[in-house]
Amino acid sequence: MEGIDLGNAFAQSLSGLGVPADVARALWLPLPMIVILLTVTVGVIAAVWGERKWSGMMQQRMGPTIIGLGGSIQGAADGVKLLVKEDIIPVKADPWLFTLGPAIVIIPVFFSYLVIPFGQGLVLSDITIGIFFIIAVASISPIGALMAGYASNNKYALLGGLRAAAQSISYEIPLALSVLAIVMMSSSLSTVDIVEQQETLGLFSFFSWNIWRQPIGFVIFLISALAETERAPFDLPEAESELVAGHHTEYTGMKFALFYLSEYANLILASLIASVLFLGGWSFIVPLEPLAALFGIEASNPIFQVVNALVGISVTILKATFFVFLAILARWTLPRVRIDQLLDLGWKFLLPVSLFNLLLTAALVLLSNTLKTTLPLYLPLIIFVGLVFVAMSLQKRPAAKPTAARA
């Protein structure tokens, strides 16, 4: 089914009102970023509220309850509070770099949302190198963190910036290799093509989701994404017990709000990417198009297209919410690791495993193309289940305490 081309649909709508085509296309250019800015801001407010509520439940307390229905607009109130606070620049800080740091951190995050599909054709920019674009743009943000730490003229901020850069470099490579395995199976760098490749089994497309074909890559991606977003237990760049607040120790007001916004925007972005790469993106457990065909409903039906788009958006958001919940769960269940443990995990474990997974995927794709069947692509699932079973079998159990002798 052909998706909805948002740009052409917008231009045609204005042309129908008598607006020249060139003017209509020019008006469309700034709209994607405006839509992203508003959507991500609302998403961050919802994520902050959800995290505080879920955290409260885990700690047997209420969480936000005052502002809005059930504290639902607490995040917006916090944003307004930060907006009206005084913007302080330390006396010995570099004012230009100090101001530029937060912008360099957050701008790449917003650009990455351009290539995230929320439904069939519901993507602001379906470029053929979407995955490469996300990885390339994401590598810019650590420069802003390092710049902010250096410009603050504060030892804690500088150490936080250095940690952020080292952590990002250490986990970008395993993350990119896990994504590259997906690209090899999909034969495309387009995020839309990757989702459509996971719909090849019709009513049984649930079993063609990449999580079944790439379980090892999925685990690597989850761990690397947590480290890239600097979430617990990998929140070392801003470890309160060691570095006060890391690279944004000296920041106040709206500049601090930009760092705060970028953290949650990154978390939501990573969750959306995970849902697109491994959980079929907008695909429901049973795809609507073949299901509608069973009842004689054509895919070109306008009502069906609207329903399909709404379901796609809802499913994508629900899948992303699942990954956000996993990140919150990790925050309250796993202790913070040391910096040497963090780097050892990235370089000595995840990197070799991701290379093995990539080579295995290449061999299985070649075998699959030779045999004209996708069954070899499910071999990593068997290997992963076997490794989990072996690990559970080798797990040491505490020895039973001897029963005290009766007098």
Cβ contact 127:190 at 8 Å: yes
| Mean pLDDT over the full length of the chain | 87
Specify the higher pLDDT residue, 158 or 202: 158
Q: How much of the chain is helix, strand and coil, in % rounded to 5? A: 70, 0, 30
**Other CB atoms within 10 Å distance of the CB of residue 212:** 17
Task: Show the tokens assigned to 57.
Answer: 């439940």
Dihedral angle at the C-alpha atoms of 87, 88, 93, 97, nearest 10 degrees? -10
Looking at the predicted structure, is the pLDDT value of residue 276 above 80?
A: yes
What's phi and psi for 125, nearest 5 deg?
A: -150, 100
In this structure, how many other beta carbons lie within 10 angstroms of the beta carbon of residue 91?
Answer: 6
What pLDDT, on the 0 to 100 scale, is given for residue 143?
A: 92
Q: Please give, one letter per residue, the 3-state secondary structure of 203-229.
A: HHHHHHCHHHHCHHHHHHHHHHHHHHC
Instruction: Please tell me the predicted confidence (pLDDT) of residue 293.
Output: 76
> What does pTM read for this prediction?
0.90
Contact 228, 350 (CB under 8 A): no
pLDDT digits (tens, 9 = 90+) for 174-188: 999 999 999 999 999
Q: What percent of the chain has pLDDT over 90?
A: 41
Contacts of 17 (CB under 8 A, 6+ apart): none
For 346-360, what is the mean pLDDT? 95
Q: Residue 238, SS3?
A: helix
With contact defined as beta carbons under 8 Å apart, do 223 and 341 qualify?
A: no
Q: To 10 degrees, what angle do helices 215-228 and 253-278 make?
A: 180
| Distance from C-alpha of 131 to C-alpha of 195, rounded to nearest angstrom | 12
Look at residue 348 in the predicted model and tell me its pLDDT: 94
Report which listed range, 205-214, 267-276, 370-379, 382-391, is most confident: 267-276
Contact 98, 151 (CB under 8 A): yes
94's enclosing H/E stretch is none
Task: Read off the pLDDT band of 136 (50, 70, 90).
Answer: very high
Rounded to the nearest 5°, which phi and psi values hold at 384?
Answer: -65, -45
User: Which 8-state DSSP code applies to residue 85?
Assistant: S
Q: Helix, strand or coil for residue 92? A: coil
Task: Report the SS3 class of residue 338.
Answer: coil
The pLDDT confidence band at residue 273, using thresholds 50, 70 and 90, is very high
pLDDT at 15 over 60: yes
Which helix (H) or strand (E) segment is 279 a member of?
Answer: none
**Dihedral angle at the C-alpha atoms of 379, 385, 389, 390, nearest 10 degrees?**
40
Q: Is the pLDDT of residue 224 over 90?
A: yes
Q: 61 in helix, strand or coil?
A: coil
Question: Distance between CA atoms of 285 and 280, rounded to whole angstroms?
Answer: 9
Kindly state the average pLDDT of the residues 242-270: 89
Q: How far is CA 190 from CA 186, 195, 276, 353, in A?
A: 9, 9, 11, 25
Residue 210 has pLDDT above 90, yes or no: yes
Q: How far is CA 364 from CA 213, 374, 379, in A?
A: 10, 9, 8
